[in-house]
């Protein structure tokens, strides 16, 4: 089984500020780490490798410093790591990014057939949730998004349970395929001592746009179809009502009355 996990280096804090003038994230000074959802994706890849045997490769696209997230992947149990780094990628939206990752995956696939690509459901810095499904579209491989559980995986196929708005779905996918996962999928391990030591010595394979044979007309900010008009912290629209009362009994009675009044019960 050859599994490719896609990871991204993102700001560590979930408290990143947005520059009100430009509408962009203020990244300077923010500590970087692996996108939290990608930790769950990589953990699931490593768990599947431990169950079925094989290899976990990891790919990221990002500036030279994003190498750190690949070394971290080695510490978490990955075997080989690939970095797409080129000025041509700068400013790419999800359409361009997924194109580059798909081209990278194709190149890895040529050398060693990939069975499964696992992505986190979204990143904590852009939140789109597009990348997994878009990679599958570029590769024309089947896709399941919002996967919360691998029901069964063997040499032939993978059966997954995915979240939908109304409940869950069980899907069986043939290989090769792409899944993107939610955090219920796995419980990321603490990096082992061996992993930490291997991470420092690991070889990071670095590829440019030319190395992966990417069409430069599909890359970078000038070729993306997406235009960011404005970024902002969403306003919290809550209509919460605090129920007051002298004691629990009184508060409970008021709460029940309120729920009845609004026809919730």
Partner 1 sequence: MDYAINEMEQETLNATREFAQKKLKPVRAEMDAKEVFSPEILQEFRKSGMFGLWLPEKYGGLGGGITCLAMAFEEFSRVCAGLALTPGTTALGAIPMFLAATEAQRERWCYDLASGKKLWAFALTEPEAGSDASALKTTAIKDGDFYIVNGTKHFISTGKEADFYTVAVNTNPARGARGISLLVIEKGTPGFTFGKKEEKMGIRTNPTYELIFENVRVPRENLLGSEGRGLLYVQETLDYSRPGVAAQAVGIAQGALDETIPYLRTRKQFGQPIITFQALAHKVAELAAKTEAGRAMVYNLTHRMDEEFLPAVKAALENGTPVHDELKKIKGVRWTKYSAMAKLFCANTAMEVADECVTLCGGVAYMRDFPLEKFMRDAKITQIYEGTTHIQKNEIIAALIKEYAAKGE
Of 52, 145, 134, residue with least CA distance to 101: 134
Number of residues that bind partner 1 (CB under 8 A): 10
Under the binding rule (CB under 8 A), the answer on residue 196 touching partner 1 is yes
Judged by CB under 8 A, which stretch of 24-32, 57-65, 84-92, 190-198 contacts partner 1? 190-198
Q: Of residues 197, 228, 252, 255, which one binds partner 1 by CB under 8 A?
A: 197
Each as own residue / partner, the long-range contacts of residues 18-25 (CB below 8 Å, 24 or more positions apart, any chain) are 18/231, 18/232, 18/233, 23/228, 23/229, 23/230, 23/231, 23/232, 24/228, 24/231, 25/125, 25/231
The nearer residue to partner 1, 3 or 214, going by C-beta atoms, is: 3
Q: Of residues 15, 64, 167, 190, which one binds partner 1 by CB under 8 A?
A: 190
Tokens in use for 213?
Answer: 């044979």
Only one residue has tokens 């990589």, namely 42
Under the binding rule (CB under 8 A), the answer on residue 192 touching partner 1 is yes
Cβ 189 to partner 1, closest distance in Å? 4
The nearer residue to partner 1, 38 or 86, going by C-beta atoms, is: 38
On whether the CB atoms of residues 77 and 46 are closer than 8 A, the answer is yes
What is the distance between the alpha carbons of residues 38 and 35, in angstroms, rounded to a whole number? 5
The nearer residue to partner 1, 47 or 81, going by C-beta atoms, is: 47
Cβ contacts of 93 within 8 Å, gap of 6 or more: 224, 225, 226
Under the binding rule (CB under 8 A), the answer on residue 189 touching partner 1 is yes
Cβ 8 to partner 1, closest distance in Å? 22
Under the binding rule (CB under 8 A), the answer on residue 194 touching partner 1 is yes
The nearer residue to partner 1, 7 or 199, going by C-beta atoms, is: 199
CA angle, residues 192, 194, 197, in degrees to nearest 5: 110
The nearer residue to partner 1, 46 or 145, going by C-beta atoms, is: 46
Only one residue has tokens 């708005």, namely 165
The nearer residue to partner 1, 189 or 254, going by C-beta atoms, is: 189
Interacting residue ranges for partner 1, rule: CB under 8 A: 187, 189-197
């Amino acid at each position: 089984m050859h599994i490719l996990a896609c990871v991204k280096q993102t700001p560590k804090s979930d408290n990143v500020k947005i520059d009100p003038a430009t509408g962009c994230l203020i990244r300077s000074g923010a500590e970087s780490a692996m996108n939290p959802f990608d930790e769950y994706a990589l953990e699931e890849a490593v768990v599947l490798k431990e169950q079925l045997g094989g290899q976990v490769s990891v790919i990221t696209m990002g500036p030279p410093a994003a190498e750190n997230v690949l070394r971290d992947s080695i510490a978490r149990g990955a075997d080989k790591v690939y970095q797409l780094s080129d000025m041509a990628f700068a400013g790419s939206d999800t359409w361009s990014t997924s194109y580059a990752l798909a081209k990278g995956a194709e190149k890895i696939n040529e050398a060693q057939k990939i069975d499964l690509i696992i992505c986190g459901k979204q990143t904590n810095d852009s939140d789109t949730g597009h990348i997994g499904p878009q990679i599958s579209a570029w590769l024309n491989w089947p896709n399941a998004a919002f996967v919360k559980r691998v029901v069964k995986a063997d040499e032939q196929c993978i059966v997954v349970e995915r979240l939908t708005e109304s409940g869950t779905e069980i899907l069986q996918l043939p290989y090769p395929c792409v899944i993107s996962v939610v955090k219920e999928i796995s419980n990321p391990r603490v990096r082992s001592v061996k992993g930490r030591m291997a991470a420092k010595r690991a070889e990071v394979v670095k590829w440019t746009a030319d190395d992966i044979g990417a069409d430069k007309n599909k890359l970078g900010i000038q070729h993306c179809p997406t235009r960011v008009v404005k970024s902002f912290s969403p306003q919290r629209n809550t209509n919460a009502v605090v129920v007051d009362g002298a004691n629990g009994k009184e508060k409970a009675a008021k709460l029940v009355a309120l729920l009845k009044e609004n026809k919730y019960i």
